[in-house]
Amino acid sequence: MDSSANVIATAPSAHDLALGMRQFIIDQAGGRTGETVERYVRAADDLEAFMNSVDVESWLGAEIAAHLDAERRRLGPGAFIVTLGLASLIRVLPAFLANPWLPPPGAQRRTHRSVVRRLKTRLRLEASQRGCLRREDFAAIERALGHAYSQDYADRTAGRAGMVTCTVTLDLVEHLVDRLLEGVTEGRYETLDEAISARLNPVQVTVWREPEEHWDHRGW
């Protein structure tokens, strides 16, 4: 049996993948306050609602959208992953960072963004294992995260004049750590310490990089 067949044979089912994503989100609140746990649970609920009702036509085309609508009527909740799979979820995930899915400014919105950043790292690994990793899809998620963060910044500074004090929030720290971890998962660095050192002391290095066909797999 070839390696691709092994990946298919050992890959989790769509149902297990959906449950795994929900549990992954909730696990991110481990050891935190009850209010924080509730925010992460709400974010997990919001992602389920998103997958059960998001309009995918502008992302995947009218034909696929019509097919998904029919399968949603037939299968009910959970039809998205069963019908379209992981790669399609990754492609439409930027919509989860826009209206009507992005919560109002505040703690829940910050949790929402944090969840998407962490989920992006997990989905990158899943997609790599399944052979459906597309660089442009993850770049789109990163742009959506940046736009959502800039909206928050604009809301906080609207109407202010003069000097502004910059506050380093936990949200920003998590974003920076996520970018460092991407360098490790993408093979640019072997360890997190190496990634941090490269940022603090930039030097030219030669690293192994996967061939382009690994990113842009034709069978996604």
Q: Are 187 and 179 in contact (CB under 8 A)?
A: no
Is the predicted pLDDT of residue 218 greater than 50, yes or no?
Answer: no
Q: What's residue 109's pLDDT? A: 93
End-to-end Cα, the chain, rounded Å: 20
C-beta separation of 174 from 145 below 8 A: no
User: Tens of pLDDT along 52-106?
Assistant: 999 999 999 999 999 999 999 999 998 999 999 999 999 999 999 999 999 998 8
Q: What is the pTM for the complete model shown?
A: 0.65
Residue 217 CB partners (closer than 8 Å, separation 6+): 131, 132, 133, 134
Spans of all domains in the chain: 3-162
